[in-house]
Structures are given as C-alpha cells and as structure tokens.
C-alpha cells in the first residue's frame, strides 16, 4: 500500500455531507471563544452525550481542553457568514452574532437550527486532535433548516432549489411536518391535498416562501424531498420537506398519515410520496425522489444530486 497523502485524505473526508457548527466556551478570564467545526456528532441519549474534535494546533486548544463545558451551535442556512467569521482569525467575532450565555454558561447563538449547552464529560487525545465529549445540560431547536457542507462548499435548501431545472408549469408543494404529522388542505372537491403553488417569474425559492406565508404556519423552507415529472399533466412537481415549530396554521390541518388519511388523497403520486414520508419519518432517514409520477429513484440526502 502506498503512503497516505494528507491532502487527498482530507478531500476524501470532505465527500461526507455534514452540518456546520460553531463551538463556544469562555476562557479563564471569562472572554467568549468559538470556532467553526463540522466534526460534530451525537454519541449517546442516556446519558445525553455529543462530541466535537479540535486540532492540537488550534489557538483555542488550551481554553477548550481546560474548560468546564462548551456549547454546540448548529448554524442555519442563513448563517454562512457566521461560519466564515468563526473559521478565520477575526477580531471581535462575537460582535457579528446575537448571543447569550446558555443555561449552563457557554455562549449560545440566536437564529440557529439548534444549540446544545454542555458540561465537559471527557477529553480524549486522538492523533493531532483532541476529542471533546460533552454532556448535554440544556438544548433548544428551531424550524430553521441547517447549513450543509461538502467538498469545500456550502449546501443550502435555497441554493439546491435554484439549481433545479426550470421551465413552464412548475408546481411547488410543501410537506409541512410536525412530529410526524403533515399539513393537508381541502382540494375543493372533497379530498385532501398538500398546499402547492405554480411557480412564476419569481423563481422556486420565492414561490416556496410565499406559499408558506399564505399557509400561515411556523414552518421554514426546507430541503428538496421529491422532484418528478407528471407527464399526463405536463407539469414538474417539486416538493419541499419543511419542519414546523407547532401545529398552528391559517389554512389546513395537521394529520396523522393513517390509511384513512391517505385514502382521502386523490392524487396517486402525492399519496405515494406521503406513504414514503410516513415510513422514513419513523426512522428519521429521509431521501430525495427523482423520477416521474409512476417510477423513479430515492437517493439518500447525504448524496448530492
């Protein structure tokens, strides 16, 4: 076997699509510190543990290695600049974000997808990095979709939506989800349907945002869940999975996806998509469907289309 070339190994590691976080703590004098990291993962539910890796060469090494705790801030898709600021040696980093001490004391950010305020559970030296294992003492999550990162580039739902092939007769629908339930509306003919809108000159992302506003829900624009051509209707359907913070809405009702509910949906392609969602939501592993109203492929969201 040939020797491993570090740059090539780093590139291979970068093929794995991750979220983006900013890890924070305070130094011995009480000053806030933070760095951008995608080496974050959950470890255990009982006890609730998470980990993140920090390079031994980092200027933050001593402060984090000796800290009594730290926070993980999972950035939302609108926080690319926050990621960039905390990835570089920028003065007054914390002036660029809205933050406050978490319940356990580490800085937690506003407008993030989620944050976890942790006590230090363990530290492990591992090669040229230190592994920080934290016990979650408090956390909070929101409906903001997370910022993704792969192969040196950010991945956002809005960017993915704009990259889709566009043309005439594009319909955007929103799978607004809350704890496994889906927001459905009366289609005017006695059946249930997803909220949808025809895309005009404003583009896919703007149409999705307008649709969510019309629904009057707490959901945020999410990731592309299904793209299919309806050859009979001569339309392209783009469905987005959007997480809501509660069951409030101006129009529509949140339904459990039971056989009765699915039987009230008149569109076979939509019914099949919701059956897939019901199965995937039970295990929390979602994919992206690409095809037509009859057949296609489901690809893991961790692979770029």
In a domain, 180, yes or no: yes
Q: Are residues 145 and 166 in the same domain?
A: no
- The answer to the question of residue 305 being in a domain is no
Q: Is residue 145 packed enough to be buried (19+ CB in 10 Å), middle (13-18) or exposed (0-12)?
A: buried
Find the largest Cα–Cα distance for the chain: 67
The residue among 150, 169, 190 that closes a domain is 150
The C-alpha atoms of residue 98 and residue 30 are separated, in whole angstroms, by 18
Same domain, residue pair 146 and 178: no
What's the CATH number where 248 sits? 3.90.79.10
28 within domain boundaries: yes
- Comparing CA positions, the residue from 174, 186, 168 lying closest to residue 236 is 168
Residues 296 and 244 grouped into a single domain: yes
Residues 44 and 115 in one domain: yes
Among the three residues 84, 117, 150, which one is the final residue of a domain in this structure? 150
**146 and 10, same structural domain?**
yes
Tell me what the mean pLDDT of segment 207-215 comes to: 92
At 297, the pLDDT band (50, 70, 90 cuts) reads low
CATH of the domain at 130: 2.30.110.10
Assess whether 136 and 73 both reside in one domain. Answer: yes
Residues 166 and 224 in one domain: yes
* 134 and 248 co-located in one domain: no
Output the pLDDT for position 303: 36
**Contact indicator for 182, 258 with CB cutoff of 8 Å:** no
The last residue of one of the domains, among 122, 150, 178, is 150
| 161 and 258, same domain (yes or no) | yes
Domain residues for the domain of 273 are 157-300
Answer yes or no: is 284 within a domain: yes
1 lies in some domain: no
- State the first-to-last Cα distance of the chain, in angstroms, to the nearest integer: 32
Domain tally, the chain: 2
Question: Measuring CA to CA, which residue among 192, 189, 211 is closest to residue 260?
Answer: 192
Instruction: Report whether the peptide linkage leading into residue 47 is cis, meaning its omega lies within 30 degrees of zero.
Output: yes
Query: What pLDDT, in 10s, does the model give residues 77-102?
Result: 889 899 999 998 888 889 989 999 99
Is 62 in the same domain as 187?
no
pLDDT at 285 over 80: no
Q: Based on the domain organization, do 97 and 231 belong to the same domain?
A: no
pLDDT tens sequence across 229-265: 777 767 888 899 888 889 999 999 999 999 999 999 9
Place of tokens 């594009």: 170
- Tell me the percentage of the chain whose pLDDT exceeds 90: 51
Q: φ, ψ for residue 8 (rounded to 5)?
A: -65, -35
């Amino acid at each position: 076997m040939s020797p491993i070339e570090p740059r090539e190994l780093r590139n291979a590691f970068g093929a794995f699509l991750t979220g983006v976080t900013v890890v924070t703590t305070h130094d011995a004098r009480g000053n806030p510190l933070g760095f951008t990291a995608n080496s974050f993962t959950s470890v255990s539910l009982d006890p609730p543990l998470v980990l993140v890796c920090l390079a031994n060469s980092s200027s933050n090494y001593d402060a984090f290695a000796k800290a009594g705790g730290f926070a993980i801030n999972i950035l939302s898709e609108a926080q690319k600049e926050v990621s960039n600021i905390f990835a570089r040696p920028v003065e007054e980093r914390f002036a660029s974000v809205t933050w406050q001490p978490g319940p356990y004391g580490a800085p937690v950010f506003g407008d993030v997808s989620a944050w976890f305020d942790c006590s230090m559970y363990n530290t492990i030296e591992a090669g040229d990095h230190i592994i920080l294992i934290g016990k979650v003492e408090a956390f909070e999550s929101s409906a903001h979709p997370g910022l993704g990162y792969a192969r040196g580039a950010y991945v956002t739902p809005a960017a993915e939506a704009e990259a889709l092939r566009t043309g005439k007769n594009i319909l955007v629908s929103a799978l607004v989800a809350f704890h496994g339930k889906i927001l459905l509306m009366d289609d005017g003919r006695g059946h249930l349907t997803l909220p949808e809108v025809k895309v005009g000159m404003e583009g896919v992302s703007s149409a999705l945002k307008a649709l969510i506003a019309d629904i009057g829900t707490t959901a945020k624009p999410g990731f592309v869940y299904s793209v299919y051509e309806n050859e009979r209707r001569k339309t392209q359907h783009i469905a987005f999975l959007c997480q809501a913070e509660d069951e409030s809405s101006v129009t529509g009702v949140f339904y459990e996806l039971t056989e009765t509910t699915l039987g009230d949906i008149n569109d076979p392609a939509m019914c099949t998509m919701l059956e897939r969602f019901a199965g995937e939501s039970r295990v929390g592993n979602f994919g992206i469907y690409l095809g037509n109203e009859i057949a296609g492929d489901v690809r893991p969201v961790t692979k770029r289309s």
